[in-house]
Amino acid sequence: MKSLSALIPRGSVLDGTADFVVNLADLATLTEDEAREFLDSNVLTSGMEMLLSQAFARLAGIGSASGIYKLSESMGGGKTQSMIVAGILARFPHLAKRMEFHAHLPDAKPDVVASFTGRSTDKRVWVAVGKALGTSFDADRAPSETEWRDALKGRSALILLDELAFYLVHAASQGSKEDGTRAATLAAIALTNLFGAVRDYKECRRCVIVIADLQKDWEQGAEELARIMRANDVLGGTMQSVSNEMAKGAQTIAPVDNSKDELYAILRRRLFKAIDVSSKDVDAIADAYATELKKASAIIERPTMKVREEILASYPFHFSTKHLIASFNDNPGFQKTRDVIRLMASIVRSLWAKGSAEVGRHHLLSLDVADLNDANVASRFIEIKKSLQDAMQTDIANSGTSHAETLDEETDDLATSCAKWIFSASLSEVHPRGLTDAELAEYLLAPGRSILGLHDALKKLYDTCWYIEQTKSGRYLFNRHKNLNAQVNSYTNVCTNADRDSKIEDKLGEMFEPKGKGCYQRLEVLPALDQVQLERDKATLVILKPDTDFQKFFLGQKYKNRVAFLTAVDQTGIFNVNKKAQRLWAISQVVRDLTPDDSQYKKAKETEAVYQTELFLALKAVFSKFAYPLVDDEGETALIGTTLLDGYIDQKTGHHVKYRNEEASKGEFVVEATLREANKFQVFSPGASDDKLKVYQPLRTRIEAFLFPPTGRATWDQIRDGAASRGHMLWTEPGTLDRMREALVTAGAWREEAGQLQKPPFDEITGVVIEYARDKESGAITTTDIKLAHADKLFVREDAGDWKAHPTDQPLVSEAMLVEFKAVDSTGKNQEGKPYRIENSIDLAHDFVPSPNPGHQFVKIKVVPPSSKLLYSLDGSNPANNGKPYSKPGIEVLEGVTVRLHVEKGGVVRDLSITVPLPHAGGSGTGASVGIKPDLPVTVSGKAFAHLVTRSAAYQFLTSLPAHARLQMVQAKVTVAATDNTVTLTWDRKTRRTAEQALAAFEFLDKQLTGAEWSLKFEQLHFASGKELLQWQVDTSCKIDPVQVTQ
């Protein structure tokens, strides 16, 4: 496959003497040899052929109604070239055979060839043309149409007019405003009259005018010309008038058709003397490129065969050349074809100057071949778009010091190539500018060239260059303004180690902060190890730089099982981390300097996010060396090294999650996953229906094997210390050990005694559990259930007496104040446990009953157990020493006196003081005797005795009444509840009956209804005197509410 070595550039291109600027003023003085050389270096374009064919047909008088041909193309677009070719063939018709016309050029030998270039500002255009026609026109007056007609009458004339826009602008600027206006106006009138004469008079039917379009005949571009015209109304009007008159009947022709690949033909002709390449050779080159493009079809968007066809048309130029040049063809000041030839000539000259070896490396001549360190080449690019000069020198080419050049070594020279392609696509003044990554890949690909590192090279360029940008549509381009990289670079240069390290520490802290605190609870990021304090109940992750000796620190720690270390793989990776951290710190300063209203704020925030990601990826790649405590071959706690995993398992979904920037704060889960895989960390979380002992078994097994001493007994603090110190132990969630202990002790799998835990096998101790009831009236203790543990005999003792055997299947009834039970293993295998004790108590209750003696009350005492010894005193002395025994019916005490009581039984003692209340002044008070006159009869309402509804209650009431008491309106009733049978005996309201008579009535009723229950009602109970009522209350302990009493 042939390289560019098969091409032979023209000598004038290589030595830099080639002059691609042509001037219409030289036409009249060209010799035939010069004309022949000029034609040989030119290409007959389709536009030029159309112009020559139609113009010469009119000159020959055999066709073409149009006599005016307007060449519409920007400066340097082939207008002057086409005029000169027309002039040469008009002067030397026989040279037409040197050009490859599709059809024979009409034979024409004009009588006169008149040419004028607007650069000849020292001449009057009408005077110069008239002189060429053999007519003398007055310089101070514009010729009329008829004067032009007469000068051209019957003649075959070719009139060539170039750069008239320049001429008219210059004319308008001469002298005073009035002078300029007059000069421009005269020229406009002269030209419009010339156009009218050629167009409208039959006498001029063999005359041809070829003129450049005024609107596109300005070196600085149409926009600049329009600005000049707006600034000068007269000039604007003049220019418009000439343009309008020119357009009447004129035929517009574009000398070069860019859509037909004519540019490539022109470049081949103008730059190369010979191209020793056959069509098969070109096919081979196109096929080679197509093969490379096909391999990269995943990223190349355009069809491979389309590119192949473009190579066949563009050879020896790269297929992108026409498209890229077209993008900046309309830049102000760019002279289209002329400047393209100059640009490509400078590239050819620079490449061939490097020698045949360098030329032989290339198969197509592309814009990225341009050596922008060559001043001649660089100047051509700068002329296209001067605003990108700083971008070129800073980012692309600066004798090896530009940003792209410094990246070449690490990108296999892709950085500079990418930069040059992007730069070439950024030269346009219109949008869209730049290249997508797909277009860039397409342009970079060549036989034997790999673009595997393209993405990385682009990334590095984008992160490094000061003028590069990327549009929302993904196009990379160079801009005239500095980007954020420049600001970032400025801050990067002043970033201190402390600033850099703070970003690293912050990011590592964000990545591994223990939020869930399941696996570890504390984090130390790049600390001084002498400042790290390990805790017994909290695991600590320590992140260290690679040169830190953490083994020595580890060996000196008590709680070796409460620390893990994460460190960098090597120092080389730290260099990359530092670089990323510097850039992150720098962009953070840029963001701080901006406000949300700044145009670059959003971009800066996006860049900051990107740099955050880059630092995360760098840290993730570097800090992956992990060490955790386990045991060595000697069974001693030691650090075991491994590599941190690249992800973790989502405990909710069970899916594997890759550790990436979006999950940057989930480093805790990655550490947990690493320790899970190493069987160092486990979660013990029994559910409500789970067997807790089974769930905790793996952890229990390790604790019993490694943390309990040979005695099988240990304090809980000893267990926790061992779990924190020995590498044998698992890491678990906080609180797991305490929950396991509670579950095991509750289930009896472990025992707790005297502040120590005991593991199986246990020393069994006998025991007894008693359930009992206490009678509230007698105070007697009665066992209801007796259970022995690890024993077969039960012994009982009462009030510290002798131990006596008691059967376990019979209840024990005891009135003792202390009852003790002990379980005994008759085999002697099990140790005797502590006795089970039941301690009885003394209950005291008292009541006041009115005394028949005025000013006194009876104090009635109830003691449980009734067998207790009860002593009392009324004089304030201690009844335990001088007290009197209590007897029924009670203690008669003067109101306001305090009674001291002392009760004892079986070593249990209880003392109580009771003060008899005084009556309230002016009425009945607590003392019930107040208001009842001892000597007068008294009546009690029957409502006070509503409780007499049982045989025992009625009988006890009737038998307690004094002999003189009488019942009025009595009803005696007996009832059998089961059969609902009732017999009632009722006396009239007036009759009063004794208690004996009421008892006789019930005896009579019992005979009527066997097995019945009694019920007694009456309206009134009469006592012979108040004293009798009061005595009855004392005797029966029955208290009557004074409200129910009348006298």
Please write the tens of the pLDDT for every residue from 4-63: 999 999 998 998 876 655 678 888 888 999 888 888 888 888 889 999 999 999 999 887
Residue 974 in contact with residue 1015, Cβ under 8 Å? yes
Quick one: pLDDT at residue 391? 95
Which tokens hold the place of 873? 């005193």
Which tokens hold the place of 62? 């055999």
Report the percentage of the chain scoring pLDDT > 90: 67
Residue 447 has pLDDT above 90, yes or no: yes
Residue 75 has pLDDT above 50, yes or no: no
Residues 441-456, mean pLDDT to the nearest whole number: 93
Quick one: pLDDT at residue 527? 96
Decide if domain 843-915 falls under CATH 2.60.40: yes
Q: Give the pLDDT band of residue 927 (cuts 50, 70, 90).
A: very low
Residue 1036 has pLDDT above 50, yes or no: yes
- Closest of 711, 800, 795, 721 to residue 756, by C-alpha: 711
Among the residue ranges 144-158, 322-336, 546-560, 997-1011, the one predicted with the least confidence is: 322-336
Residues 149-167, mean pLDDT to the nearest whole number: 92
Q: Give the pLDDT band of residue 926 (cuts 50, 70, 90).
A: very low
Q: Is 893 helix (H, G, I), strand (E, B) or coil?
A: strand
Residue 274 forms beta bridges with which residues?
Answer: 8
Q: Is 109 helix (H, G, I), strand (E, B) or coil?
A: coil
C-alpha span between 716 and 732 (Å, rounded): 17
448 exposed, middle or buried (CB, 10 Å; 0-12, 13-18, 19+)? exposed
Phi, psi of 851 (to 5 degrees): -95, 150
Residues 415-422, mean pLDDT to the nearest whole number: 97
Amino acid residing at 877: S
700 exposed, middle or buried (CB, 10 Å; 0-12, 13-18, 19+)? buried
Residue 701 in contact with residue 740, Cβ under 8 Å? no
Cα three-residue angle 944-947-953, rounded to 5 degrees:
120
Average model confidence (pLDDT) for the chain? Answer: 90
Residue 370 in contact with residue 318, Cβ under 8 Å? no
Phi, psi of 622 (to 5 degrees): -90, -45
Output the CA torsion sign for 228, 232, 234, 236: positive
Q: Rg of the chain's alpha carbons, rounded to an integer?
A: 62
Quick one: pLDDT at residue 557? 96
Instruction: List, as one string, the DSSP characters of 914-929.
Output: EEPPPPPTTS--SSTT
List C-alpha distances in Å: 448 to 291, 439, 719, 790: 11, 19, 70, 92
Residue 564 in contact with residue 541, Cβ under 8 Å? yes
Decide the pairing of beta strands 251-253 and 272-275. unpaired
C-alpha span between 200 and 839 (Å, rounded): 145
For the segment 583-594, what is each residue's pLDDT rounded down to a tens digit?
999 999 999 999
Residue 930 has pLDDT above 80, yes or no: no
Quick one: pLDDT at residue 94? 92
Q: Give the pLDDT band of residue 787 (cuts 50, 70, 90).
A: very high
Residue 219 has pLDDT above 60, yes or no: no
- For the chain, the domains span 25-256, 278-348+355-482, 496-567+618-677, 692-758, 767-839, 843-915, 938-1046
Among the residue ranges 56-65, 867-876, 1008-1017, the one predicted with the least confidence is: 56-65
Quick one: pLDDT at residue 922? 47
C-alpha span between 736 and 537 (Å, rounded): 11
Residues 595-622, mean pLDDT to the nearest whole number: 92
Contacts of 602 (CB under 8 A, 6+ apart): none
Residue 126 in contact with residue 137, Cβ under 8 Å? yes
Cα three-residue angle 290-292-298, rounded to 5 degrees:
100
For the segment 354-363, what is each residue's pLDDT rounded down to a tens digit?
999 999 999 9
Quick one: pLDDT at residue 1023? 93
Query: Crossing angle for the helix pair 177-200 and 125-132, nearest 10 degrees?
Result: 40
Residue 860 in contact with residue 847, Cβ under 8 Å? yes
Quick one: pLDDT at residue 453? 92
Spatial strand order in the sheet of 767-774: 767-774, 781-789, 813-814
For the segment 367-379, what is each residue's pLDDT rounded down to a tens digit?
999 999 999 999 9
Residue 315 has pLDDT above 80, yes or no: yes
Q: Do domains 767-839 and 843-915 have the same CATH topology?
A: yes
C-alpha span between 442 and 366 (Å, rounded): 13
C-alpha span between 1030 and 856 (Å, rounded): 11
List C-alpha distances in Å: 495 to 578, 585, 595: 11, 7, 22
Decide the pairing of beta strands 856-864 and 891-894. antiparallel
> Higher model confidence: residue 551 or residue 762?
551
Quick one: pLDDT at residue 224? 55
C-alpha span between 522 and 536 (Å, rounded): 12
Structurally, what CATH architecture does the domain formed by 767-839 represent? Answer: Sandwich (2.60)
Quick one: pLDDT at residue 216? 60
First-last CA distance in the chain: 149
Output 618-622 pairs: Cβ under 8 A, ≥24 positions apart.
Answer: 618/573, 618/576, 618/577, 618/580, 619/504, 619/507, 619/508, 619/511, 619/577, 620/511, 620/659, 621/573, 622/568, 622/569, 622/570, 622/573, 622/574, 622/576, 622/577
Residue 76 has pLDDT above 60, yes or no: no
Residue 221 has pLDDT above 60, yes or no: no
Phi, psi of 679 (to 5 degrees): 55, 30
Helix (H), strand (E) at residue 781 = strand 781-789
Contacts of 121 (CB under 8 A, 6+ apart): 166, 167, 170, 171
Helix (H), strand (E) at residue 885 = strand 884-885
Residue 823 in contact with residue 790, Cβ under 8 Å? yes
Report the percentage of the chain scoring pLDDT > 70: 96
Residue 231 has pLDDT above 70, yes or no: no
Residue 12 in contact with residue 18, Cβ under 8 Å? yes
Quick one: pLDDT at residue 336? 75
Among the residue ranges 438-447, 522-531, 647-656, the one predicted with the least confidence is: 647-656
Contacts of 472 (CB under 8 A, 6+ apart): none
